[in-house]
Every structure is written in C-alpha cells, then in structure tokens.
Amino acid sequence: MKFNTKVIHGGQHHDPSTGAVMPPVYQTSTFVQTSPGQPINPDYEYSRAANPTRTALENALASIENGTRGLAFSSGLAATDCVLRSFKAGDEIIAMDDLYGGTYRMFTRIYKDSGIKFHFVDMNDLDKFKSLINENTKLVWVETPTNPLMKLADVQEIAKITKENKILFAVDNTFATPYLQKPLDLGADIVMHSATKYLGGHSDVIAGALIVKDEALGEQLHFQQFATGATLGPMDSFLVLRGIKTLHLRVERHCENGGKVVEFLNNHPKVKTVYYPGLPSHPYHEIAKKQMSGFGGMVSFTFVSGKKEDAIDFLEKLKVFTLAESLGGVESLANHPALMTHASIPEEKRKEIGITDDLVRLSVGIEDAVDLIEDLKQALA
C-alpha cells in the first residue's frame, strides 16, 4: 500500500463480531475465561497487557512507520521511559544536544541518578559523536527536526555508525511524522512519537508511541510496558487511530501553510532569524531534502531586537494563533520555549544550544494561510 492508503487501511480489520468499519472502543478492564488460564480469546486477558482498540492503533502505527511492532503509551514521555528501562547503571547514552525539555529533564533528573551516563552532542559533528562511543554505549537518541531549533540529524549516517558498533538507535519522529520521514527505513531501530501531536492531530488526547523493526526488541519493550503499566486507554487509542486516518491530508496543509508563514517572517523587518528546514539558508537544508519528503509546519524565529519583552508582547497580541504548549493540532499554536516547553532546561544550557529569550516557536495549523499571516502581521506591528 502507498502511504495515503496505509493511514486508512494499514494493519486494520473490520470488527469480526459486528462488521463495524471502525474498531469499537472496548471499554473493559478484563476478559472472560472459560477455565482458569483459558480466556475465550487467547490474545486478551487483561487490558493492561492488550486491548482490542489499542491493538488496532498499534497495528496502524507499525504500518505507517514500516515496522513490525507498534506500542501505544499514556504519553510520549511514557514511551521514552519504556526505552530507558532497558538500561542499567554503568550504561551510557548519547543524545542530541537540542531536545524537547521533558526528554532532557527525564535524562538528567530521573535516569542520571540511576547510574546511567548521558552525553549531549551536536549530531552533525560525527567525529565528536564517534569519539564518545565506548564499550558502555548502549543507545543513541536523536530528534530530527529538533524542538525548538529545527536542527536535523542525518539518520542514515548515524545508523551506519550505530550498526558498526552494535548500539541501539532511537529517533523521535514527532515533528516530521511518518508522512514526511521514516527513520526505520533509514536505519534506526526505534521510532518514538508524542502521539499527542500530529498523529492525534486535534489537541484532544495525550498519547505516545514506539515502533520497532526487530520483533525480539518489540517483545522486550512490550514486556517492559506491560510490567510498568503506562499503556494507552481504549478511548484515547480510538482518538489517535481516528487522527491517523487524516494524517496525510493534515500534514500536507501544515506544510503548505508553514511555507507561506516562513516566507512572510523571513521578509519581515522585525524578524532576525527564521528556523525552518525548508529554507535554503537553513544549515541542514540538504539533510532535510535528503531524508524528508516535505518540511513540516513547525517554525521558530527570533527578533532583531533580541528582547524577551518583544517576544512576550507579540505572543500576547495574537488572535488566531493560540498561546499554548503542545503542537501538531489542526489549530495554530504559539509558544515561548524559554518560559514554557523548555523551562526545565537550565538557563545556561538553553543559551549554550541557542534557545534565546526572544525565541518564539509556532505550530502552523491548517486554517486559511491568509488569516494566519494577517494575525502575525498585526501582532508584529
């Protein structure tokens, strides 16, 4: 199947008991057994282990990322946490230097105390990256594009290095979505999504996802998910699955509107730098062209003045864009990373990687582009 067909039909089956086109919401915690240890359906005993609605979502996730196993979690961070539970004291993890604030917080404030050592590095400096690899290195974790500076990492080149060294390679594909980028096809072992964002697409659910190529790894991660309990409920599974059905249509419009917003911002006298992988001036534009089929709807920019006050003033004046955390919904959102999504990162670390106090991040939605640009224009005036 081509992608546009996969999002609707991939891994999906009509409900066998009723013929329902969409999987029902199996709002049940447990399933009847005919004799001790003999459930009517051997796949379902207790909903923490498996639930038919979640199974339908997980099959769709595996299909759209070209994986063998999909797992649905109660949040993106729960999915990340599940991966990290594979490691022990003394293990080392190499991560991209520009990460979502919640991921950075988990690495540095939760797992660092467990004896796992983390290295944060610019993944485009492959020599520096390779110099950090040793016999204790067990995982490489990247976001591409990153949140909020839109840095990219060459997944194919990093995968060559991790395979040579027998290291697991995980990619947070939240910003790109499987419509624009398929890390497993490029050599990654694990793909993570905050399914709250583009996969759900309607700002009405919190969810996470892991997709893997290797069946044994999928079984291991499923056991860790089952044993720790951060599974996605049936109603939330239904909402994400419904969102996936229109992913291709929405992301096309996100890309279209994103390009128009970038063109406006890039020519505005009050805007200093626009961070968007579709710009030829973007330092990793060639990587974007190589591994992505489009450039997405996430845009960040800074002000010529460099003042935090100008960013706050701009955000307070927006009328169509909504000032809120999160991204990837049908509505356009605006965010101040230093005060909102990345406030958990220490100020000195934010400055080191380029998250300045005048940086604004936009999640460009699917409204009429003319209205979005008019809103930006009046807020900047």
What is the Cα–Cα distance from 169 to 308, expressed in whole angstroms? 37
**Residue in 44, 100, 275, 276 annotated catalytic:** 100
What is the crossing angle of helices 369-380 and 308-317, to 10°? 130
C-alpha distance from residue 331 to each of 45, 197, 261, 323, 366 (Å)? 39, 11, 14, 11, 6
Residue 48 among the catalytic residues = yes
Q: Which residue out of 15, 48, 185, 242 is catalytically annotated?
A: 48
250 annotated active-site: no
The answer to whether 173 touches 191, Cβ cutoff 8 Å, is yes
253 as an active site residue: the answer is no
Q: Give CA–CA dist 81/227, Å, rounded.
A: 13
Could you tell me where the beta strands, DSSP code E, fall in the chain?
33-35, 38-39, 69-73, 92-96, 117-121, 137-143, 168-172, 190-194, 208-212, 271-275, 298-303, 322-323, 333-335, 360-363
Name the catalytic one among 81, 97, 154, 172.
Answer: 172
Position 286, amino acid: E
Quick one: tokens of 11? 């891994």
* Alpha carbon distance 337, 333 (integer Å): 12
Backbone angles phi, psi at 284, to 5 degrees: -120, 30
Q: Which of 54, 69, 151, 197 is catalytic?
A: 197
Indicate if 245 belongs to the active site: no
Which residues belong to the active site?
A: 48, 100, 172, 197
